[in-house]
């Protein structure tokens, strides 16, 4: 161990050579370790459940139901946008939900997540059942993202569907020479796969165009399987549920994938305002 | 690069950033929106009031505070701090003590610029000491000086301060500032009522639930400070909404 000038403690590599005995001990896995590892894997499993019966789906979601259009909202602002503008303009039926647990979840119990907890819901439009929507307000950890993709898309997805992903990131993640104070946040940027030919409704994310978490996993998956997909990323300086951030997604309503799904915009704005007031969380830390 | 130079406040990064100070400015953005306007004969401070918890005593959640209140001459220095509540309380206390100390020493109340400079110097000290972190607060300080001129100052966590004609701090401050840049005209601040309406209109750009979530205070020249009640704010909001409707009707008539 060594201390740096700043007082951090860093592990310095040992120049005396590796100790063989220590390494062997570390490699031997006891049955207890195996048990713990299996328990942890079971706890962190991503389960896709059918709506009515609450039983697990045997095949992946998109293998079971044919899909031409899939809109995924990840994060509370994106979910609020879809809830107010898209889900209120048609009749959507819940098809299933994904239940998962990781360290970011507030509850310790993975089996009894109530419907008000952060979760992942899948819906399809009653008038056109090949249009799917996913509202994901929980955090899907790195080790769970592959499972999620497998359970939703399957191991051999159809190529004739179009994926649209909506999510938010904090403006400090946006790589730029300017200071974050001078950026016009919230603002929208897009990142698309090679097979997505339609124009985006906002500028593309400039280099270094790095995205994280589940949206990145979905885009990578779509790029590998040559599925046309686009990610609309809203950079904002207010990460909690915020009216101005949600309204920054509005340009997407004019794109080909969402235009046909949205009917009544003024009513949607009213619904959004109501959603904001019911979700207001008081914090005394910040005045 | 940022992660290697942002652990200690007293360390510059190779390209000259003090990351802790910049991060402190992000903390300010987590607070509510506050707006300050300097009129011809009036200064206005408005802030978004977040809804309090059911069992919390609303009176103890005041955001606009007086730093100094000179009773005979009836002028005061009003301030609002946005960011970490606890930091705001500590700095307000120090500023109030300084106001009284100044009055006892030189027998004159502080000028708005003096107390702003004191607060800014205090904040700067905390960006240069080891073991301490910067204050995560920005402030809007308003008042009238002896010469009867209205003043509005803004400070930020780095310890800088500037005079402004109108400014906003906190959440979505940029949106409000852009609104003010467009609408702060000589006509807009011609009368006291117009200045008050401008402040409320600016806040309504970002306040989600309308007039009942706005706290407003004004000081008119040679008059004591006035805190508006919720009803009074509502009256202004109704007036603003009526004007908006009339403007829209005129527009639609013109286009027809």
Give B147-195 as a DSSP string.
T--EEEEEE-TTS-EEE-SEEEESTTHHHHHHHHHHH--TTTTTSHHHH
Q: What pLDDT does A189 receive? A: 95
- Please answer yes or no on whether B11 and A6 come within 8 Å at the CB atom: yes
Interface residues from chain A to B (CB-CB < 8 Å): 6-8, 172, 179-181, 184-185, 237-238, 242-244, 273, 276-277, 280, 282-287
Sign of CA dihedral B138, B140, B145, B150: positive
Residue A198 Cα distances to A191, A237, B182, angstroms: 12, 29, 36
pLDDT (tens digit, 0 to 9) for every residue of chain A, 287 residues total?
666 777 777 777 777 765 555 555 556 778 888 999 888 888 888 888 887 677 777 788 888 888 899 999 999 899 999 988 988 888 899 888 888 888 877 665 555 544 445 578 999 999 988 999 999 988 898 889 998 999 999 888 888 899 999 999 998 889 888 877 778 889 999 999 999 999 999 999 998 889 999 999 999 999 999 999 999 999 998 888 888 899 899 999 988 888 888 877 778 888 887 777 766 656 678 88
Query: Does the beta carbon of B177 lie under 8 angstroms from any beta carbon of chain A?
Result: no
**Structure token digits, residue B15:** 């390209």
- Please answer yes or no on whether B50 and A273 come within 8 Å at the CB atom: no
- Domains of chain B with bracketed CATH: 17-245 (3.60.20.10)
For B:26-55, CB contacts with A below 8 A are 26-27, 29-32, 50-53
Looking at beta carbons, which residues of chain A come within 8 Å of B32? Answer: 286-287
At B141, the pLDDT band (50, 70, 90 cuts) reads very high
Q: In whole angstroms, what is the distance from residue A138 CA to residue A120 CA?
A: 7
- Please answer yes or no on whether A287 and B88 come within 8 Å at the CB atom: yes
User: How do residues B29-75 score in pLDDT, each as one tens digit?
Assistant: 888 999 999 999 999 999 998 777 788 887 777 788 889 886 445 45
Looking at residues B81-86, what average pLDDT do you find? 91
Q: In what order do the strands lie in the sheet with A47-50?
A: A47-50, A92-99, A120-125, A128-136, A69-74, A162-170, A229-236, A187-192
Give percent of chain B with pLDDT exceeding 70.
95
- Identity of the residue in A280, A282, A285 whose CB atom sits nearest the CB atom of B84: A285
Query: Does the beta carbon of B172 lie under 8 angstroms from any beta carbon of chain A?
Result: yes
Give A217-279 as a DSSP string.
HHHHHHHHTT--EEEEEEEES--SS-HHHHHTTGGGGGSHHHHTT---HHHHHHHHHHHHHHT
Query: Does the beta carbon of B166 lie under 8 angstroms from any beta carbon of chain A?
Result: no
Average per-residue pLDDT for chain B: 88
Per DSSP bridges, beta strands A69-74 and A47-50 are: unpaired
Largest CA distance in chain A: 72
Question: Looking at the whole model, is its pTM more than 0.90?
Answer: no
User: Could you tell me the end-to-end alpha-carbon distance of chain B, in angstroms, rounded to an integer?
Assistant: 59
- Identity of the residue in B8, B22, B25 whose CB atom sits nearest the CB atom of A6: B8
Chain A nearest-CA distance from B207, in A, is 9
Give the count of Cβ contacts less than 8 A between chain A and B: 61
Neighbour count for residue B209 (Cβ, 10 Å): 16
- Please answer yes or no on whether A286 and B27 come within 8 Å at the CB atom: yes
- Please answer yes or no on whether B26 and A243 come within 8 Å at the CB atom: no
Chain A nearest-CA distance from B182, in A, is 16
Neighbouring-strand partners of residue A48? A98
Residue of B nearest to A247 (CA): B206
Q: In whole angstroms, what is the distance from residue A168 CA to residue A190 CA?
A: 11
Q: In whole angstroms, what is the distance from residue A131 CA to residue A154 CA?
A: 17
Looking at beta carbons, which residues of chain A come within 8 Å of B168? Answer: none
């Amino acid at each position: 161990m060594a201390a740096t000038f700043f007082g951090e403690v860093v592990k310095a590599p040992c120049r005396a050579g590796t100790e063989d005995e220590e390494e062997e001990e570390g490699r031997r896995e006891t049955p207890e370790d195996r048990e713990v590892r299996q328990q942890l894997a079971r706890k962190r499993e991503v389960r896709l459940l059918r709506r009515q019966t609450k039983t697990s789906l045997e095949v992946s979601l998109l293998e079971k139901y044919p899909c031409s259009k899939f809109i995924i909202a990840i994060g509370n602002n994106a979910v609020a946008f879809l809830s107010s503008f898209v889900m209120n303009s048609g009749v959507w039926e819940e098809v299933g939900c994904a239940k998962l647990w990781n360290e970011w979840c507030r509850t310790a119990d993975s089996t009894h997540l109530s419907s008000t907890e952060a979760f992942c819901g899948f819906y399809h439009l009653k008038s056109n059942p090949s249009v799917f929507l996913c509202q994901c307000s929980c955090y899907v950890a790195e080790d769970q993202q592959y499972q999620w993709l497998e359970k939703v898309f399957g191991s051999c997805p159809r190529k004739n569907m179009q994926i649209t992903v909506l999510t938010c990131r904090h403006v400090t993640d946006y790589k730029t020479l300017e200071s974050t104070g001078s950026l016009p946040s919230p603002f929208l940027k897009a990142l698309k796969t090679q097979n997505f030919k339609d124009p985006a409704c906002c500028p593309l994310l400039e280099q270094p165009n790095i995205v994280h978490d589940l949206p990145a996993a979905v885009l990578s998956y779509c790029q590998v399987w040559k599925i046309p997909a686009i990610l609309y990323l809203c950079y904002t300086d207010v990460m909690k549920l915020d009216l101005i951030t949600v309204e920054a997604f509005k340009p997407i309503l004019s794109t080909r994938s969402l235009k046909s799904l949205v009917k009544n915009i003024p009513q949607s704005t009213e619904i959004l305002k109501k959603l904001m007031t019911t979700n207001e969380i008081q914090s005394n830390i910040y005045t | 690069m940022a992660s290697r130079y942002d652990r200690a406040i007293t360390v510059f990064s190779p390209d000259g950033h003090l990351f802790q100070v910049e991060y402190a400015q992000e903390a300010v953005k987590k607070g509510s929106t506050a707006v300050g306007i300097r009129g011809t004969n009036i200064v206005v401070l408005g802030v978004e009031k977040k809804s309090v918890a059911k069992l919390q005593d609303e009176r103890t959640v005041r955001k606009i505070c007086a730093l100094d209140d000179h009773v005979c001459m009836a002028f005061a220095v009003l301030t609002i701090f946005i960011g970490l509540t606890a930091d705001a309380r500590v700095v307000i206390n120090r500023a109030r003590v300084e106001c009284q100390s100044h009055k006892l020493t030189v027998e004159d109340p502080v000028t708005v610029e003096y107390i702003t400079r004191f607060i800014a110097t205090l904040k700067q000290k905390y960006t240069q000491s080891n073991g301490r972190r910067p204050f995560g607060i920005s402030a809007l300080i308003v008042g009238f000086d002896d010469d009867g001129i209205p003043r509005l100052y803004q400070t930020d966590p780095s310890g800088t301060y500037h005079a402004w004609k109108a400014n906003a701090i906190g959440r979505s401050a940029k949106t409000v500032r852009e609104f003010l840049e467009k609408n702060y005209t000589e006509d807009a601040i011609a009368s006291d009522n117009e200045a008050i309406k401008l402040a409320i209109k600016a806040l309504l750009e970002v306040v989600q639930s309308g007039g009942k979530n706005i706290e407003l205070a004004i000081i008119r020249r040679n008059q004591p400070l006035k805190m508006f009640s919720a009803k009074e704010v509502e009256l202004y909001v109704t007036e603003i909404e009526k004007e908006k409707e009339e403007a829209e009707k005129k527009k639609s008539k013109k286009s027809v």
